[in-house]
Chain A
């Protein structure tokens, strides 16, 4: 999972025909996978490429010449010379039958069901269903809206017992919290009485549930999915950088869902990352530049930049300290380094590390910063044990520092250590530590900034802007660029892409890196 894939030896292949088109696939592939190569999307509920094959939903049936019955394409291994039909009256009849069975006991929940708009029952019903129900019998009732974990709510009436969720907890997380209970038409999925599905990846069961049986507590009833615009981006909760989609509407994020990236996160993401957008709406935002000396009334930001530039010019040589977050983008860090190390000739640059817990066997990294590797590749000094920061604060207390710059970090004890230093803090959030600042610059938060992060695998990935930041909030690199300009140096960057262009030209580790090259799946930087 963490190593880049080596180029593969050519494997044995088989050739078959699907809907009249020839296709060649690796030996051992299933007919369903072969159809996928031709971009034929055979309907499926229980099949998921990241889980074992169950073959229980029976909707992926196809017709194969010389085979008397319909077969499930997800369980049938493709063989040389097979002639497969994924369409036609026999197949349609099989699918129609499965749809009728699934809908027989299914509650009429569409109007209140989160899955509406991304529900395979709706989709396949529309494509393959018969339209009217012939089921006149009494429905079997189950449990509605029952929490089965801290983040997941179960509605057994909607469940089609495809067992994707059960298999996920068995095979991917190894925690096995879910089981199928009873049998026959009374089968239902649940947790052991008194226990819950509390593994750190429980939210993935909501993604893979093809219907609305499993829903995310934090997203329930918030938005209809067709109102959301999905923006592809990268999660910033740890050094893995799972690929995600930001579900946005009304200029805010309503949910995060994982995007498939076989190099980074396969199909999954952790719950902490999934909910990492919540602080954006829980913690008050900074929206204007604020000057303490003026009783914290807003300052026009060009004046704020001029004021800061003036303080920096006044400062003794090298008496500028800077604390910058390892979750800043490569573009942010590059310009901060240019400002502090080159222009201001200071070596008092600290990049704190946030290590919590341990790397787990799946996705979670102990390093909770999004761009530690990017900082390392740019030659910024990392501070794993906090000693650099401690010594910086000590020097500040001893009066050796004239200006302290803080970018997107919470520095404890800053106010106490300031002596006579001028403190400028750039942050998206108005937290208690911001009170130590003489000058506050509002920074763009997650979802509002665009740039590059390098994950622990040394993979460069894009984090994308999906939202308009509030007030005059700017990305860190823009603040740095403005200050650089105010100090008389050129910083002609119109976009983060232009900053990256310069980085690619000047920093060997990033040679050849472009925005386009990173695309949606990122790019592995060479070792």
Chain B
């Protein structure tokens, strides 16, 4: 396990003028693009494959491999779609990159678009990120003026255009096929798979969708080599990683470190420890709220990489690390998590449309002191009726965490039911009822 010695992705985010192409270029922006264009698309794909880069949007799928799904020969236009819809609770790393180093992002997008021979790069950015949108828009125009976007980029023979497209408030549009539907001007309903985006994507054309942070790694991979990248972190879980710390942590924010850092080191060295040092760590959601919760005990030796977390029944996901100390009522925490899913379900398929709302209401009722003896069994059963039975994994994202809270903090749920009230009246969130 090799530590990250110096900042990579976030090395220039501290400079206010980094959003300006002149200043960014003085610090090295767009120096890798010409190199990549000389390598040829297939060589770029190979290098990214060798690096072991895994998707940082949530699924952790090997990026280079994903790129090879694009058809070798096709008369159809190819597209790269950048998923900048960052909406996973606890996550705010893509926003940092786009707001503070847009040219790094663009260079990554362009190199990746070139690798998959895309003629059009769509950037789908969530509607709420107005500053990032405006910053990127300016950056795109600056890059276009310099010839990095357009016809025959840097004499390579490659033509590409970039369209920056705003969403309008829907978490589900971060799901890659729902994103495509939204991009095509529809309700954000995930598509049936197969077909997969590489064969049938935007407008039915071969499409690859990647996360912002994932693509921001590409210039570094090409500049410093796949081996350099693979040498950071752990085997099969490599490279620099942005972790988003939030909740009961002294220094919340984005932390760049090696992928696979131990959680307690992340909390202690980078996060400054718990917000209230007199308290005890009660639970952590390690990868955005779609990840199963880990108890304070489980956190003690937890390694924050894709494979370790998966082996423990959770996910690294979007690396949104949410810390909860022992002032938190876990029933109330779950209610808050499930309220998110109830609001964000697209409603397309039966188990999720009804189930996401139902499990939230059960937990809310338990939290309000009106739980019944059967509720926990019903809750788990309804969750089982959702997992693996829907068009997309949103249902899993709601149901698996729900089951994890109940399994790991069952006593608290039972107390609410038996006492017919919350045993932590002054827990986080206060005694008053939260707005519905």
Which A residues are in CB contact (< 8 Å) with B385? 94, 97-98, 100-101
Report the minimum CB–CB distance from A60 to chain B (whole Å).
11
Inter-chain contact B347/A184, CB cutoff 8 Å: yes
A9 contacts B by Cβ under 8 Å: no
Which residue among B348, B381, B386 has the maximum number of chain A CB atoms within 10 Å of its CB?
Answer: B348
Inter-chain contact A57/B378, CB cutoff 8 Å: no
Inter-chain contact A101/B354, CB cutoff 8 Å: yes
Inter-chain contact A70/B388, CB cutoff 8 Å: yes
Stretch from B81-89, B268-276, B355-363 at the A interface: B355-363
A70-B389, A160-B350 known; A101+B355 contact, CB < 8 A: yes
Inter-chain contact B350/A55, CB cutoff 8 Å: no
Inter-chain contact B354/A185, CB cutoff 8 Å: yes
Which B residues are in CB contact (< 8 Å) with A69? 388-389
Inter-chain contact A75/B192, CB cutoff 8 Å: yes
Inter-chain contact B388/A134, CB cutoff 8 Å: no
Which B residues are in CB contact (< 8 Å) with A56? 348-350, 391
Which B residues are in CB contact (< 8 Å) with A68? 388
**Of residues 34 to 58 in A, which have CB atoms within 8 Å of B's CB atoms?**
53, 55-58
Across the interface, A187 reaches (CB within 8 A) one of B353, B362, B372, namely B353
Across the interface, B390 reaches (CB within 8 A) one of A58, A104, A136, namely A58
A137 contacts B by Cβ under 8 Å: yes
Across the interface, A185 reaches (CB within 8 A) one of B342, B362, B374, namely B342
A70-B388, A184-B343 known; A58+B170 contact, CB < 8 A: no
Which A residues are in CB contact (< 8 Å) with B289? none
Which residue among A97, A138, A161, A187 has the maximum number of chain B CB atoms within 10 Å of its CB?
Answer: A97
Inter-chain contact A161/B347, CB cutoff 8 Å: yes
Across the interface, B351 reaches (CB within 8 A) one of A58, A75, A160, namely A58
A70-B389, A185-B353 known; A135+B346 contact, CB < 8 A: no
Which B residues are in CB contact (< 8 Å) with A100? 382, 385
Inter-chain contact A58/B350, CB cutoff 8 Å: yes
How many cross-chain pairs have Cβ atoms below 8 Å apart between A and B? Answer: 95
Inter-chain contact B351/A186, CB cutoff 8 Å: no
Inter-chain contact A55/B391, CB cutoff 8 Å: yes
A507 contacts B by Cβ under 8 Å: no
A417–B362 Cα gap in the complex (Å)? 81
Report the minimum CB–CB distance from A462 to chain B (whole Å).
41
- Quick one: closest A residue to B361, CB to CB? A137
A183 contacts B by Cβ under 8 Å: yes
A55-B192, A101-B350, A134-B378 known; A184+B365 contact, CB < 8 A: no
Inter-chain contact A57/B358, CB cutoff 8 Å: no
B345 contacts A by Cβ under 8 Å: yes
Report the minimum CB–CB distance from B84 to chain A (whole Å).
21
**Of residues 308 to 361 in B, which have CB atoms within 8 Å of A's CB atoms?**
342-351, 353-358, 361
B224 contacts A by Cβ under 8 Å: no
A98–B378 Cα gap in the complex (Å)? 15
B187 contacts A by Cβ under 8 Å: yes
Inter-chain contact B351/A97, CB cutoff 8 Å: yes
Inter-chain contact B187/A102, CB cutoff 8 Å: no
Inter-chain contact B356/A183, CB cutoff 8 Å: no
A134–B381 Cα gap in the complex (Å)? 10
Interface string of B387-429 (1 = CB under 8 A from A): 0111100000000000000000000000000000000000000
A182–B372 Cα gap in the complex (Å)? 31
A396 contacts B by Cβ under 8 Å: no
Which A residues are in CB contact (< 8 Å) with B345? 183-185
The interface size bin for chain A is: 20 to 34
Report the minimum CB–CB distance from B339 to chain A (whole Å).
11
Report the minimum CB–CB distance from A77 to chain B (whole Å).
8
A182–B354 Cα gap in the complex (Å)? 14
Interface string of A134-164 (1 = CB under 8 A from B): 1111101000000000000000000011000
Inter-chain contact A184/B356, CB cutoff 8 Å: yes
Which B residues are in CB contact (< 8 Å) with A161? 347-348, 353
A56–B316 Cα gap in the complex (Å)? 29
A245–B398 Cα gap in the complex (Å)? 46
Report the minimum CB–CB distance from A64 to chain B (whole Å).
14
Interface string of A67-82 (1 = CB under 8 A from B): 0111000010000000
A110 contacts B by Cβ under 8 Å: no
Interface string of A182-226 (1 = CB under 8 A from B): 111111000000000000000000000000000000000000000
Which B residues are in CB contact (< 8 Å) with A186? 347
A310 contacts B by Cβ under 8 Å: no
Across the interface, B389 reaches (CB within 8 A) one of A61, A136, A137, A160, namely A61
A183-B170, A184-B342, A185-B342 known; A136+B372 contact, CB < 8 A: yes
Report the minimum CB–CB distance from A74 to chain B (whole Å).
10
Which A residues are in CB contact (< 8 Å) with B343? 184
Inter-chain contact B351/A101, CB cutoff 8 Å: yes
Inter-chain contact A187/B347, CB cutoff 8 Å: yes
Which A residues are in CB contact (< 8 Å) with B375? 136
Which residue among B354, B358, B372 has the maximum number of chain A CB atoms within 10 Å of its CB?
Answer: B354
A53-B192, A55-B192, A184-B344 known; A137+B365 contact, CB < 8 A: yes
Which A residues are in CB contact (< 8 Å) with B355? 101
A468 contacts B by Cβ under 8 Å: no
- Quick one: closest A residue to B377, CB to CB? A134
Report the minimum CB–CB distance from A213 to chain B (whole Å).
14
A101-B355, A137-B358, A137-B361 known; A58+B342 contact, CB < 8 A: no
A184–B390 Cα gap in the complex (Å)? 14
Which B residues are in CB contact (< 8 Å) with A61? 389
Which B residues are in CB contact (< 8 Å) with A140? 357
A180 contacts B by Cβ under 8 Å: yes
Which B residues are in CB contact (< 8 Å) with A53? 192
A154–B384 Cα gap in the complex (Å)? 32
Inter-chain contact B389/A97, CB cutoff 8 Å: yes
Which residue among B187, B349, B361, B386 has the maximum number of chain A CB atoms within 10 Å of its CB?
Answer: B349
- Quick one: closest B residue to A183, CB to CB? B347
Inter-chain contact A57/B354, CB cutoff 8 Å: no
A140–B436 Cα gap in the complex (Å)? 14
Inter-chain contact B389/A134, CB cutoff 8 Å: no
A22–B381 Cα gap in the complex (Å)? 35
A514 contacts B by Cβ under 8 Å: no
A59 contacts B by Cβ under 8 Å: yes
A433 contacts B by Cβ under 8 Å: no
Which B residues are in CB contact (< 8 Å) with A173? none
Which A residues are in CB contact (< 8 Å) with B362? 136-137
Inter-chain contact B349/A135, CB cutoff 8 Å: no
A61–B192 Cα gap in the complex (Å)? 14
A104–B354 Cα gap in the complex (Å)? 8
Which residue among A56, A105, A184 has the maximum number of chain B CB atoms within 10 Å of its CB?
Answer: A184
**Of residues 261 to 316 in A, which have CB atoms within 8 Å of B's CB atoms?**
none
Which A residues are in CB contact (< 8 Å) with B361? 137-138
Which residue among A59, A102, A134, A161 has the maximum number of chain B CB atoms within 10 Å of its CB?
Answer: A134
- Quick one: closest B residue to A135, CB to CB? B358
- Quick one: closest B residue to A184, CB to CB? B345
A494–B372 Cα gap in the complex (Å)? 73
- Quick one: closest B residue to A70, CB to CB? B389
Across the interface, B187 reaches (CB within 8 A) one of A97, A134, A180, namely A180
Report the minimum CB–CB distance from A45 to chain B (whole Å).
8
Inter-chain contact B354/A105, CB cutoff 8 Å: yes
Report the minimum CB–CB distance from A224 to chain B (whole Å).
28
Which residue among A68, A70, A101, A187 has the maximum number of chain B CB atoms within 10 Å of its CB?
Answer: A101
Which residue among A102, A136, A182 has the maximum number of chain B CB atoms within 10 Å of its CB?
Answer: A136
Give 20 pairs: A residue, B residue, CB < 8 Å, sorted on A.
A55-B349, A55-B391, A58-B349, A58-B389, A69-B388, A75-B192, A97-B386, A100-B382, A105-B354, A137-B358, A137-B361, A137-B365, A161-B347, A183-B187, A183-B347, A184-B343, A184-B344, A184-B347, A185-B357, A187-B347
Residues of A within 8 A of B (CB): 53, 55-59, 61, 68-70, 75, 94, 97-98, 100-102, 104-105, 134-138, 140, 160-161, 180, 182-187
Known: A104-B354, A134-B382, A137-B362. 15 other contacts (CB 8 A): A69-B388, A70-B388, A100-B382, A101-B350, A101-B358, A134-B374, A136-B362, A137-B358, A180-B187, A180-B347, A183-B187, A184-B343, A184-B356, A185-B356, A187-B347
